[in-house]
Amino acid sequence: MTAEGWESAAFKARVDEVLRNHVADEADQLSALDPALGPVAEQLEAAVADGKRLRAAFCYWGWRAVGQPDGDALVRAAASMELVHAAAIVHDDLIDDSPLRHGRPTAHRALRGAVEQHPRAGGAARSLAMLVGDLLMSLAGQLFVTSGLPAAYLGRARPFWAALARDLVAGECLEILHTGAAPDTTASLKVIRYKTAKYTVEQPLLIGGALAGAGERLRAGYSAYGLPLGEAFQLRDDLLGLFGDPETTGKAAADDVQGHRPTALLAETWRLADDEERGRLRELLGRRDLDGDALEAVRELMRRLKAPDRIETMITTRVEEALGALDELNLPARPAAALTALAHSAAVRRS
């Protein structure tokens, strides 16, 4: 990719290469300590094998929009955002006990085979997965500080990096604290903002901008664009989680409903339902295992109440808000076009 060009597939290939090399080196060193660590090392590499690399792209364009050139050091720094995401995914799947990710067993499920002899094999596999996630977060910081960017640039971004980690943990905690509580759209949107929106769009942009020396006005514009777009991204995930094709999403369709997670989709369904419909929903959600018929009954109730339509409207409103904020920034043509394309790819997708 040239300094002035932008091809999302070419950029993704560059990020993929950085991640593969960085994680493979760490996995090799881990395996060399003891052969028993092989399955753990495999899960490190599996954690970065797939992904859209949106977070790296937002970081990259947060840098380029300031007028800084393309460069391998910046791509390495941007790739560290994907290691944060990989860590968050391993931990999130563990917290939710999700069975699948990208069509493959999640880390805590895949690691059961390594601890079959353990007296508490399930718990041991979960513990190993937790440590995989911890190591991925450590590798994110390592990749960032060894990216090759000047120390002064990295120092400017340090407060934003700290905020990224804090907000991500806060969002996960809020989701746990609200799971099982009475569905509430305001609470669900707050979970979305901290668990996903900030670390997916806003903070990668802010980190890229801080690395490049972005001023206060530009950083405020990044937040005005990034927060609603990040929320739209997660709202789309909520819809895909229940109404998407599992063959395409790579995730189990019943996860959110079975786990009683505080999604905006469930909250809007509850808000729109009458007493009888709430009773039916409560009965369905109270089942230990949601079979195909019960899951379809939940979907049908949501469709009848037009809850998915409400989420679609919320997505559209947020994308329009993000693009409006982007227009006000009057960025150079190339970054403006890239961030516009990223907004559409984040909110209009099938996986």
**130 & 156 share domain:** no
pLDDT tens readout for residues 248-281: 777 766 677 777 788 999 999 999 999 999 999 9
**318 & 238 share domain:** yes
> What is the mean predicted confidence (pLDDT) over 162-166?
95
Strand partners, 105: 100
Tell me the pLDDT band of 173, cut-offs 50, 70 and 90: very high
**205 & 111 share domain:** no
Select the highest-mean-pLDDT range: 6-20, 46-60, 246-260, 288-302: 46-60
**pLDDT score for 244:** 84
Global pTM reads: 0.93
> What is the mean predicted confidence (pLDDT) over 291-302?
89
Distance of CA 58 to the CA centre of its chain: 13
**159 & 203 share domain:** yes
> What is the mean predicted confidence (pLDDT) over 37-53?
96
How many Cα atoms within 13 Å fall on the side-chain side of residue 69?
Answer: 5
> What is the mean predicted confidence (pLDDT) over 112-138?
97
Average pLDDT along the chain: 93
SS3 at position 101: strand
**160 & 139 share domain:** no
- Both tokens of 128, joined, read 């190993």
Q: Is the pLDDT of residue 48 over 90?
A: yes
Last residue of a domain, one of 149, 170, 188: 149
Please count the structural domains in the chain. Answer: 2
Tell me the pLDDT band of 15, cut-offs 50, 70 and 90: very high
> What is the mean predicted confidence (pLDDT) over 35-63?
97
**162 & 144 share domain:** no
Q: Is the pLDDT of residue 338 over 50?
A: yes
Instruction: Give which of 308, 306, 171, 169 is closest to 238, Cα–Cα.
Output: 308
**282 & 133 share domain:** no
Phi-psi region of 79 (alpha: psi -120 to 50; beta: other; left: phi over 0): alpha
**129 & 198 share domain:** no
> What is the mean predicted confidence (pLDDT) over 28-50?
97
Tell me the pLDDT band of 285, cut-offs 50, 70 and 90: confident
**pLDDT score for 246:** 80
CB 162 within 8 A of CB 88: no
**pLDDT score for 252:** 67
**59 & 208 share domain:** no
Helical H segments across the chain, by residue range: 8-33, 38-47, 54-64, 72-96, 107-110, 121-145, 151-178, 185-192, 203-212, 216-243, 246-249, 255-258, 264-272, 275-285, 292-304, 307-329, 333-347
**pLDDT score for 1:** 39
**138 & 161 share domain:** no
Tell me the pLDDT band of 247, cut-offs 50, 70 and 90: confident
DSSP state of 251: S
CATH of the domain at 27: 1.10.600.10
- Both tokens of 323, joined, read 């693009």
**By percentage, how much of the chain surpasses pLDDT 90?**
81
CB 23 within 8 A of CB 139: yes
pLDDT tens readout for residues 218-235: 999 999 999 999 999 999
Q: Is the pLDDT of residue 2 over 50?
A: no
Q: Which long-range contacts (CB under 8 A, 24 or more apart) does 180-185 make?
A: 180/260, 181/262, 182/270, 183/262, 183/266, 183/267, 183/269, 183/270, 183/271, 184/262, 184/267, 185/264, 185/267, 185/268, 185/271
> How long is the chain?
351
**pLDDT score for 5:** 40
Last residue of a domain, one of 149, 176, 207: 149
SS3 at position 189: helix
Tell me the pLDDT band of 135, cut-offs 50, 70 and 90: very high
All residues at 6 or more sequence positions from 64 whose CB lies less than 8 Å from its CB, including other chains: 70, 208, 212, 334, 335, 338
Q: Is the pLDDT of residue 46 over 60?
A: yes
Sequential DSSP letters for 310-321: HHHHHHHHHHHH
Q: Is the pLDDT of residue 3 over 50?
A: no
Give the separation between CA 210 and CA 233, rounded to whole angstroms: 23
Last residue of a domain, one of 111, 132, 149: 149
**pLDDT score for 253:** 64
Strand partners, 100: 105
When comparing pLDDT for 165 and 103, which is higher?
165
**144 & 293 share domain:** no
119 burial class (0-12, 13-18, 19+ CB within 10 angstroms)?
Answer: exposed
**319 & 191 share domain:** yes
**pLDDT score for 4:** 38
> What is the mean predicted confidence (pLDDT) over 112-120?
95
Tell me the pLDDT band of 41, cut-offs 50, 70 and 90: very high
Q: Which long-range contacts (CB under 8 A, 24 or more apart) does 17-26 make?
A: 18/75, 18/76, 18/79, 18/143, 19/48, 19/79, 19/82, 19/83, 20/45, 20/48, 22/79, 22/83, 22/139, 22/143, 23/47, 23/48, 23/83, 23/139, 26/135, 26/139
Residue 192 structural domain: 150-351
